[in-house]
Amino acid sequence: MEFTHIQLPKEWRIARVREVYSFTKKPRGLSIANDAFVPFLPMNTIPLNRLHVSDHEERCGALLTSGTYIEKGDLLVAKITPSFENGKQAIVDWQHAFGFATTEVIPIQELDGISDKYFLFYILLHPAIRSDLAGKMDGTTGRQRLSKAVLGSRLIPFPPLSEQRKIAAVLGIVQQAIEQQKRLLTLTTELKKTLLNQLFTYGLRNEPQKQTEIGLMPESWEVVELEKIAVTFDYGTSVKCDYKQKAAPVLRIPNIANGFVDLSDLKYGQPKQRELKSLKLCNGDLLFVRTNGVQENAGRCALFRDELPNCYFASYLIRVRTDSNRLLPAFLNHYVQTERGKSYLAGRAVRTADGKFNINSGTLRRVVLPLPSLAEQREIVYQLSFAEKKQQIHHRKYTALTALFRTMLHELMTAKIRVNKLSFDGYLEHAER
């Protein structure tokens, strides 16, 4: 999306990033004594979906062999794949005047009286801008990087400074609400995790336990291979997807999280004619992530609960349908959320040539799992439903707020919604700018 094609207010202009922001440079002559300690930000401290970063390491000068010079208040943008595409960026919020970070970030500063770093933080999250920049990354597969020159040349809509600040303040308030729901979701997820491990180890009947190849479980439970109690194992569509809501919703890897379908980053595509019936999702379908750059995420699963009509799934997912007379889909979904279930699946992921971890349908067929009676399965699902409902409430709020953020981001950055004539002094204070 080129913002040059959009009718913007006369007070706005189109500017290149390098014209209204500066890239941080290490001062000439700066040297660090071998016995001095300086703050250092490795890539894993730079957050996703959070405004500031303050966590850091202390490294002595003798061990500081490489790094990017940064200063307090800099906006750090991750430049390597997949960190850039995922939106890894943050503003440095610490007491130190300067420090260093991983070489895989680009540090940017605002220009006094001209630009606001928070405005740039948010506009770089616009899907069209990030997608355009991602398409201009250089390097080999899996190690592509965004250059400073490409980022600096990117055209962005640029309102007056006062309006930049108000736009950023509004988006900051929505983001704070998102972060709060994410914290609550994390707490309820931890509660559910405790219940899961308890129920799948001891059951509900106070039975003696037995040791099996997948750990302790009640004596009456069976250990079975999934293919013996599943009906189908299907790969999804490879149709190209985008954010244009003119076709069918297609669930992808980002939509599979903690047993739920996450609709906060939904794309659309037109499945092929032969796929319209065979790959349409139904209530009770289980979706497994079959490939991921992180081994622990290979085999991640979610239960489709009719969240969307006429919905399909992408090729990096595998759909499993169970024989519900023997295995409840919800029971299997709960089991693969347990520590043993996740580690069992991840442990069978195979590393591919591009460095990712893969689980295919053959691997899923051979997965072994605990199988209590159908009656006990129903009771376990019921017991977990209370924690799950709280989890779903926070999940729905998180999803709704994320969708609101995406809409407001586009509307504000294209001036379809104006804030320049409104007073946001209280909001600015609330946003803890």
Contacts of 405 (CB under 8 A, 6+ apart): 171, 174, 175, 178
Structure tokens at 382: 């019921």
Q: Enumerate the domain spans of the chain.
A: 3-158, 180-392
State the DSSP code for 207.
P
Q: Can you name the CATH fold of 3-158? A: Adenine-n6-DNA-methyltransferase TaqI; Chain A, domain 2 (3.90.220)
Among 229, 232, 258, CA closest to 368: 229
Dist. CA 71–CA 85, nearest whole Å = 24
Dist. CA 71–CA 402, nearest whole Å = 30
Dist. CA 145–CA 18, nearest whole Å = 18
Identify the segments of the chain with pLDDT beneath 70: 1-4, 141-142, 420-433
Between the alpha carbon of residue 243 and those of residues 185, 246, 281, 378, 393, the distances in Å are 26, 9, 20, 38, 25
How remote is the C-alpha of 78 from its chain's centroid?
A: 15
* pLDDT, mean over the chain: 91
**329 in helix, strand or coil?**
helix
Beta-ladder partners of 53: 92
- Pairing of the two strands 230-235 and 248-251: unpaired
How remote is the C-alpha of 2 from its chain's centroid?
A: 25
Among 177, 195, 173, CA closest to 185: 177
- pLDDT tens per residue across span 325-347: 999 999 999 999 999 998 889 89
Contacts 24+ apart (CB under 8 A), 172-179: 172/51, 172/118, 172/431, 172/433, 173/427, 173/430, 173/431, 174/401, 174/404, 174/405, 174/408, 175/49, 175/51, 175/405, 176/431, 177/401, 178/49, 178/398, 178/401, 178/402, 178/405, 179/49, 179/50
**What was the pLDDT predicted at 62?**
80
**What was the pLDDT predicted at 429?**
43
**What was the pLDDT predicted at 423?**
52
**What was the pLDDT predicted at 3?**
67
CATH code matching the domain that covers 180-392, chosen among 3.20.20.330, 3.90.220.20, 3.40.50.10470, 3.40.50.720: 3.90.220.20
Between the alpha carbon of residue 102 and those of residues 41, 44, 161, 351, 401, the distances in Å are 6, 10, 30, 26, 31
pTM score, two decimals? 0.70
**What was the pLDDT predicted at 301?**
95
Please determine whether the domains at 3-158 and 180-392 fall in the same fold group of CATH: yes
